[in-house]
Structure 1
């Protein structure tokens, strides 16, 4: 799929959330720090169980992205958006094949009370792991739960994630999966 203004903006927003240290490049440390923050904010140890698996999955995600971008260490915004567009836009099967497992781990770590749902507090913690400001996280919650009460089950969380990465509809709720900027 061709990179258009909507996809460039959406993937650009995702780039900002992943560039944890603000260097303008996605580096291995950014991915590890995002996963470690999510664990810390959720009360999960990043060196054990699901926390460790999440950190390892984020490390692997960076390696895969770096290979695809031809940038072994730091991936710039332009390269990131091009790879995301090429690999995921309009291709939900690509998400299911490669990224759904990471989404499962994120859900597991962020579901604090282990009730099988992410509520507003869980979801805001998830976004805080990426440094998304609280007001932007609350706007994302509002867009994901227009009825006023967020209660995302695992499948719905994955559907919104898939829609974010693969969707081409600017009005889809999943477009706001990683906050509003």
Structure 2
């Protein structure tokens, strides 16, 4: 497992890794088709019917999310390059936690409502690992992510804990923030090939 190396590049590194997850078709741009495919994968891996209320809510949240991103980044093409994603995510959201909450929290809440299949307010290891599989994390990084975020070792994550981790991941430059581990070991030298996440 790697350790933090260049703290100054940490947020950029996390945003780059995230781009590799959201560019579902691997064509080098992030667009609405990618997020809808990602939503469908999340729903399928959680074994939730596509017509279930939480599944439909996730589709709507992803559509609204990508439109908000395009508006905040002042994009008209509907496609976002890795460079636009990095610059916009850090410049618009990484430095503005209130805006992050406005745009990201509804999506994150919809994701974790889907993952919390039994409705107990917590996401257990199986539910979390299904989410990780859907976004393309490696088996090793799925396990690392869960272990790092399960701070009290009780085998589950509260939805609020995950929402907090989500915010850490996308906005924090603190190398010790628990949310840095949302998708596993982002310091792993082999996780990023310069254009996308290596799966």
TM-score (norm 2): 0.82
Corresponding position: 1:131 with 2:136:
yes
Deviation of 1:45 after TM superposition, in Å, equals 2.5
Return the alpha-carbon distance in structure 2 between the equivalents of residues 107 and 147 of structure 1. 19
**Contact 1:144 1:150 survives alignment (8 Å):** no
Aligned to 1:162: 167
In angstroms, what is the RMSD of aligned CA positions?
1.7
Q: After superposition, where does 1:1-181 map in structure 2 within 5 Å?
A: 4-67=8-71, 68-145=73-150, 148-180=153-185, 181=191
Q: Give the Å deviation of 1:165.
A: 1.5
Partner of 2:188: none
Structure 2 distance, partners of 1:53, 1:81, is 27
Q: Which has the higher contact order (CA 8 A, sep 6+)?
A: 2
Q: Deviations over 1:19-63 (max 9, x none)?
A: 111111112111001111111111223344111111121122112
Q: Which runs of 5+ in 1 are unaligned?
A: none
What displacement does 1:104 show? 1.1
- Aligned CA distance change for structure 1 residues 11 and 113 (closer, same or farther; 3 Å): same
How many residues align? The count is 178
Q: SS of the residue aligned with 1:99?
A: helix
Deviation by residue 1:83-133 (Cα, 9 ceiling, x = unmatched): 110122143222222211111111110012222111111111111111212
Q: Contact 1:118–1:152 (CA<8 Å) still a contact in 2?
A: yes
Q: How far apart are the structure 1 equivalents of 2:129 and 2:113?
A: 15
Aligned in 2, Cα 1:71/1:142: closer, same or farther, shift over 3 Å? Answer: farther
Deviations 1:141-181 (A, max 9, x none): 12212554441112111111111112121221101212333
Moved over 3 A (4+): 146-150
The answer for the alignment partner of 2:4 in structure 1 is none
TM-score by length of 1: 0.89
For residues 143 and 153 of structure 1, what CA distance do their matches in structure 2 show?
A: 14
